[in-house]
Chain A
């Protein structure tokens, strides 16, 4: 049954990548909240209008 083997391969790849990406994004959100706002850009107009 090729369908089962194909589903197993695609299923494992999809699940692992989905879980890894979701965990990474959640961890980034948590740390962004903990660290607070990021520093302002270094390059800014000298005389803002």
Chain B
């Protein structure tokens, strides 16, 4: 409880610092001008979306293998966060695209595969919500979660595999194509969103456990 509160406070401090670096300290881009500041809101959302889906993949495999409820709780919570952050990555990407590319949306490989990921995990949540047998629902959702996560490497490498409008990664292992003040702003935002993700995930898992405890106690009363 105290640890979770501390995580929440740390996330707020880092988010405010990241916003300060992104909006004030970071210089405008040579080509995009001040529009580049939208990157500090867009990239961290996409990063946390990846992180959420990776969590769904690992915990879904563990659930199918060990059948322990905690893995299912974490997978369910991470999938919900995955939908949230993928939605925000798509929204901020469209807001960045309109002034820079001249269009809200284009049928570009990166954009389409990200939209597919968003739809897959909405489907994951629907499978859970509509299932009457919770154990069977968890099993089917775990399979959907594992298959859906295969889209993440496709999204990541789509800018290399296909001819796209979306720019390739600016930070590749051993090769950073970014000025130091911009890199500092981006890294601070990435750290802030990672801490926020851990905070939200622990809170969401706690809610899931409380919900299960409540359902079980009501079943006992009946």
A interface residue numbers (CB < 8 A to B): 2-3, 5-6, 8-10, 12-13, 16-17, 20-21, 24-25, 27-28, 31-32, 34-35
Contact = CB atoms under 8 A, between A and B. Distances in A.
A28 B199 CA distance: 13
Interface residues of B, number: 30
**What's the dominant secondary structure at chain A's contact region?**
helix
A28 B34 contact: no
Interface of B: 19, 23, 33-35, 37-38, 41-42, 45, 84, 87-88, 91-92, 95-96, 98-99, 196, 200, 203-204, 206-207, 210-211, 213-214, 217
A30 B217 CA distance: 15
Nearest to A5: B99
A3 B33 CA distance: 11
Contacts of A8: 95
Given A5-B99, A6-B35, A31 B211 contact: yes
Q: Most chain-A CB neighbours within 10 Å: which of B88, B96, B203, B210? A: B210
A36 to B, nearest CB: 9
